[in-house]
């Protein structure tokens, strides 16, 4: 599961604070075993930081770049998920890719089909639910 950018950054901040303590331990402690242990902890934190960086890049790819695209209603209708086309739907002016979304098997969802602006339908069924932030953004509906 991809976490939000904010939660990834919060964890990174937490790790850097913990890492400072490890570094202090390495400088202050005379016991070789305590210093080795702190060094090991520091190594593990670097590995976790690398993983978080990858997560952040993936999150940014999904959220920021695609919103540059502008899509008309006519263009949207081509993305119906039929004949090899991806499946896109629009909600509140944002176009999302639901091609591989589990709830959109064969580009259909509870009687709805892809390639349409489903703002009203979304509001009537999923108001207050955190669904949209998990979807891949394609662009803006103009």
Using CB under 8 A as the criterion, which residues of the chain lie in contact with another protein when the complex forms? 81-87, 99-100, 102-103, 105-111
Tokens of 69: 């695209």
If the CB atoms of residues 27 and 110 are measured against another protein, the closer one turns out to be: 110
Residue 104 Cβ, how far from another protein at the closest point, in Å? 8
Task: Please answer whether residues 87 and 79 qualify as being in contact, where contact means their C-beta atoms are separated by less than 8 angstroms.
Answer: yes
Residue 85 Cβ, how far from another protein at the closest point, in Å? 7
If the CB atoms of residues 37 and 108 are measured against another protein, the closer one turns out to be: 108
- Dihedral sign computed on CA atoms, order 135, 131, 101, 117: negative
Residue 136 Cβ, how far from another protein at the closest point, in Å? 11
Determine the Cα–Cα distance for residues 97 and 86; give it in Å rounded to an integer: 7
């Amino acid at each position: 599961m991809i976490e939000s950018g904010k939660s990834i950054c919060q964890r990174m901040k937490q790790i850097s604070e913990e890492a400072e303590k490890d570094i202090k331990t390495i400088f202050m402690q005379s016991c070789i075993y305590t210093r080795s242990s702190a060094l090991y902890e520091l190594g593990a934190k670097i590995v976790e930081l690398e993983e978080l960086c990858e997560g952040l890049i993936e999150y940014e790819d999904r959220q920021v770049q695609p919103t540059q695209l502008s899509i008309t209603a006519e263009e949207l209708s081509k993305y119906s998920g039929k004949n090899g086309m991806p499946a896109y739907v629009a909600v509140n002016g944002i176009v999302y890719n639901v091609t591989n979304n589990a709830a959109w098997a064969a580009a259909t969802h509870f009687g709805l089909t892809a390639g349409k602006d489903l703002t009203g339908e979304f509001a009537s069924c999923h108001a207050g639910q955190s669904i949209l932030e998990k979807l891949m953004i394609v662009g803006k509906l103009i």
